[in-house]
Amino acid sequence: MTSYYFRIFAFLFMPLISTAQVVNNYIVQPSINLRWDNNGRWMFNSALEHRSLINNEWNVLHVQAVQFASYEIGFHSQIGLGVMYRELFDDQRPEELRFTEQFVYARKYNNLKIAHRLRWDQRIRGENLTHRWRYRLSGSIPLNGGTVDATEFYITSRLETIFIAQANKKSGYDQRVAIGLGRALNKNMKLQLVTEYRWEDYTNDLKRSLFINLGVFYSL
């Protein structure tokens, strides 16, 4: 059984590790995520995240808090609003406030869940306002059976494209691809480890970053 899961881990993460031979930044980002609903159409998500750069030594970049509210409009679709505050550990850079609007269409095809997400971000840093339009395609599938039961593993992946615009600045594009492994600990809690490779501002000043995202997810 151990060798079985090791082969799954190697299949998931070795392609990204080999791609990461050309990487400018290595980043670790743990998070705690809380989800609850009112047994109706509303759903709420809160998250607390911490980001550190680990190129040559461990450098804390920022912490951020996120609050999101989503409303189910039917036909496998949701609309949502969110706000995020980011506290940077750099006196030379201003803190960040971000507002987000989104539309999500998610549906299951047998045991495969596919989700399309459209987002519009307004990112405020000091006197600068940046707009980001984002599309993400994601999917997840359990490794055993048709649903993710307690103590079972699942695979998750996503592909996201971002267009960035700011006044008096040339527009830019980001591309992100991620794949990971999750495990349900019980019916309310799961752990998720995801590696994400980012091409940032690839039409102007390309930077490549490899993210290691470790998330704890709890549903009330």
Q: Rounded to an integer, what distance in angstroms lies between the CA atom of residue 34 and that of residue 163?
A: 29
pLDDT at 169 over 60: yes
Which residue carries 């090791």 as its tokens?
A: 6
Q: Rounded to an integer, what distance in angstroms lies between the CA atom of residue 46 and that of residue 44?
A: 7
pLDDT in tens, 25-65: 999 999 999 999 877 899 999 999 999 999 988 999 999 99
Q: Rounded to an integer, what distance in angstroms lies between the CA atom of residue 91 and that of residue 89?
A: 7
pLDDT at 47: 98
pLDDT at 175: 95
Could you tell me the two tokens for 40?
């109706």
Query: The whole model's pTM is what?
Result: 0.88
pLDDT at 21: 58
**What is the DSSP-derived secondary structure letter of residue 24?**
S
Residues 6+ apart with CB under 8 A from 134: 117, 118, 119, 120, 121, 160, 161, 162, 163
Mean pLDDT of the chain: 89
Q: Rounded to an integer, what distance in angstroms lies between the CA atom of residue 37 and that of residue 44?
A: 6
Largest pairwise CA distance in the chain: 57
pLDDT at 117 over 50: yes
**What is the DSSP-derived secondary structure letter of residue 168?**
T
pLDDT at 187: 86
Which residue carries 């980012």 as its tokens?
A: 198
Q: CB 56: neighbour CB atoms within 10 A?
A: 7
pLDDT in tens, 57-69: 899 999 999 999 9
Q: Rounded to an integer, what distance in angstroms lies between the CA atom of residue 156 and that of residue 147?
A: 13
